[in-house]
A and B are shown apart, each in its own frame.
Chain A
Amino acid sequence: MAEVRLKSVTKAFGKVVAVKNFSLDIKDGEFIILVGPSGCGKTTTLRTIAGLEEVTSGEIYIGDRLVNDVPPKDRDIAMVFQNYALYPHMDVYRNMSFGLRLRKVPKSDIDRIVKQTAELLGIRELLDRKPKELSGGQRQRVALGRAIVRNPKVFLFDEPLSNLDAKLRIAMRAELLALHQRLKTTTIYVTHDQMEAMTMGDRIVVMNEGVIQQVDTPQNVYDHPINKYVAGFIGSPAMNFVDCVIAKKNGNIYARTKGMSLRIPPDKAKLLENYIDKEAILGIRPEHIQDTQTVKDYEPETTFKASIWVVEPLGSEKIVHIKNEDSDLVARLDPHVTFQPGDTAEFTARMDLAHIFDKETEETIF
């Protein structure tokens, strides 16, 4: 087990900079998630930690050791790949013991460790099968087993669940977490799936275009996104963004669009003094838009009329797409609302939980 520290790591492929000035301290035993759209540099970051890519500049420490020039095999890490990367011509036992055999671990120890790990992962009876005779989930377990037997300081996961079907993915997610709680090995996990990021990480690192956007606990990232990009990336359905103008009337501050005028709570209104009569972006999460038939208790001047566009019943909730003048919004409503497409209804926005972003920089104002 070890801490991992990255100091101003930059990785360029020719003229393309994949990772820019990446600094991060990962605590011993932490489960940290790098999340972002494809091409945001998260896998490249992982590969530099593994030693599969050399950094262009910056420093990487595993434990107290600077590992920039240490080859992958001597970094004491194990990596699990998206496509499993099992050795197709070896059976499960040989796949799992490959690293140990190379490290000249005594045969009896290898046998004990492999069997123990196989037991832990529920693949004991598969040890003499070849990878092609296994299902996707079983292959992923073998890949995990291959990483675990080495008892490394750090686990590196590169989208390990994205080749599995939805149901298995959720089951494996829980298993990975249980495993981490048991082994307490520092884990760096790359995914593009924000659900995985939210549910698994002690902290998540949201990346875009090679740059860290925000590092925080999942809930903090969700509640207090640092900019419009993070706000839109984390959460499903995504946060609603509406172009608005900040207006002042009778001492109150409003976010105004063509068809809405929503009062901003006084404690937050202070932050908007410099934005009066200027454009900004209003961000509201779908669950913060409710219809006034269901929710009776709402702040004054936070309501607006909208027509129903599409209704998606999910059983536990209804995702309703609504339209107010030129603003399209998504609301997450009680499953028992009876709206039909074409209806018009009144909605209220939780302005105390809404966000305002600077139109130019897209940074969060609150």
Chain B
Amino acid sequence: MMTKRTGRILSRVLLHTTVIFIAFLWLIPTVGVLVTSFRPAQDVGNSGWWTVFENIFTSARFTLMNYKLVISRLGIGRAFLNSFIITIPSTIIPLVVALFAAYALAWMRFFARPFIFMVMIALLVVPLQLTFIPILYIFNKLSLAGTFPGIWLAHTGYGLPLAIYMLYNFISGLPEEIIDSASIDGASPFYTFLRIVLPLSVPIIASLVIFQFLWVWNDLLVALIYLGGTPDVAPITVQISSLVGSYGQDWELLTAAVFISIIPSILVFFGLQRYFIRGILTGSIKG
């Protein structure tokens, strides 16, 4: 009895130590970025960010200048806004389309349904890079290159297969009797979708919002290809990468820019993580 219990405590201590250690390792650079972004340029050049903790009450100096400079003069403010203009529709559009598609594929009967589903799943394995040239060619013809609708369309296309696949898995797993019951009760397929399927799919929708939001927000490649580096449309990722070229030595500016770019991801994650964890469980375990 005693040994069993000690064993359990021991394994728990071991587990927690490991988790805390890994979390600590991951946190160090982030803390470094955060601290550096608040230090004056002169200090950043003279001493490492960790020295702040030794004389936090004496000689350490903090400033908001870096943020002011980055937002107003280096175009990060505009880029931050652009990122939102790109990311929000690029998250919502594919999700809405995928929800309709997944529901139809799971619960409606129509011609060539299995074939259409197969094609969509097959699209999962097409590498992104393969599509750049032909799509850019088409975008240029349609004057979509370098515009927001163009990149919304691109992200929608890239996001759809995975979104449909994940939503299909979830929605097709809803009990058949509930759908049947709604249809006997008099609900049209659309009403069933709106009032039954949608509310029950909240966990998986939250998971997908996080995935798609983070993917689009952190994306550099797709934005660079379809939008180019023009400051009035470039998202924050593109802007930061160009700052690395011109301000590579000015760590206090880069870290401030980076930290601004992290904030929305953190907010989205913490806002939806409750559903995110449940969403993953609902996908993998029956129920």
Contact = CB atoms under 8 A, between A and B. Distances in A.
Interface stretch (B46-54, B120-128, B153-161, B184-192): B184-192
A89 B198 CA distance: 10
Contact of A81 (B181, B183, B186, B187): B181
A73 B181 CA distance: 10
B185 A85 contact: no
B53 to A, nearest CB: 49
A71 B178 CA distance: 16
B175 A83 contact: yes
A98 B177 contact: no
B241 to A, nearest CB: 44
Given A73-B183, A73-B184, A102-B185, A88 B200 contact: yes
Contacts of B185: 73, 98-99, 102, 146, 150
Contacts of A98: 182, 185, 187
A298 interface: no
A82 B177 CA distance: 9
Interface string B146-179: 0000000000000000000000000000010110
A73 B177 contact: no
A55 interface: no
Contact of A83 (B177, B182, B183, B191): B177
B187 A89 contact: no
A328 to B, nearest CB: 41
B184 A50 contact: yes
A99 B178 contact: no
Interface in A51-77: 51-52, 71-73, 77
A79 interface: yes
A72 B184 contact: yes
B191 A52 contact: no
A72 B177 contact: no
A365 to B, nearest CB: 43
Contacts of A102: 185-187, 191
A87 B186 CA distance: 14
A94 B185 CA distance: 12
Given A87-B196, A88-B200, A89-B200, A77 B184 contact: yes
A78 interface: yes
A81 B187 CA distance: 17
Interface residues of A, number: 24
Contact of B184 (A79, A83, A86, A87): A79
B232 interface: no
Contacts of B180: 50, 52, 72, 79, 81, 85
A73 B186 contact: yes
Contacts of A89: 199-200
A144 B18 CA distance: 53
B199 A103 contact: no
A72 B175 contact: no
Contacts of A146: 181, 185
Contacts of A73: 183-187
Given A102-B186, A103-B186, A85 B181 contact: yes
B183 A87 contact: no
A314 to B, nearest CB: 36
A52 B181 CA distance: 10
Contacts of A82: 177
A128 B253 CA distance: 56
Contacts of B183: 52, 71-73
Nearest to B183: A72
A84 B176 CA distance: 11
B146 to A, nearest CB: 44
A223 to B, nearest CB: 37
Contacts of A99: 184-186
B178 A85 contact: yes
Nearest to B198: A89
Nearest to B109: A54
Name which of A77, A82, A84, A85 has the most chain B CB atoms within 10 A of its CB.
A85
A87 B187 contact: no
B196 to A, nearest CB: 6
Contacts of B196: 87
Contacts of A83: 175, 177
Given A72-B184, A79-B184, A87 B178 contact: yes
Name which of B178, B186, B199 has the most chain A CB atoms within 10 A of its CB.
B186
Contacts of B186: 73, 99, 102-103
Given A83-B177, A85-B178, A78 B184 contact: yes
11 contacts: A52-B183, A71-B183, A72-B180, A73-B183, A73-B185, A77-B184, A79-B181, A79-B184, A87-B178, A87-B196, A99-B184
Q: Closest 10 A-B residue pairs measured CB to CB?
A: A85-B177, A99-B185, A73-B186, A102-B186, A81-B177, A85-B181, A89-B199, A72-B184, A85-B178, A72-B183
Given A50-B184, A81-B177, A87-B178, 13 more contacts: A50-B180, A73-B186, A77-B184, A79-B180, A85-B177, A85-B178, A87-B196, A88-B178, A98-B187, A102-B185, A102-B191, A146-B185, A150-B185
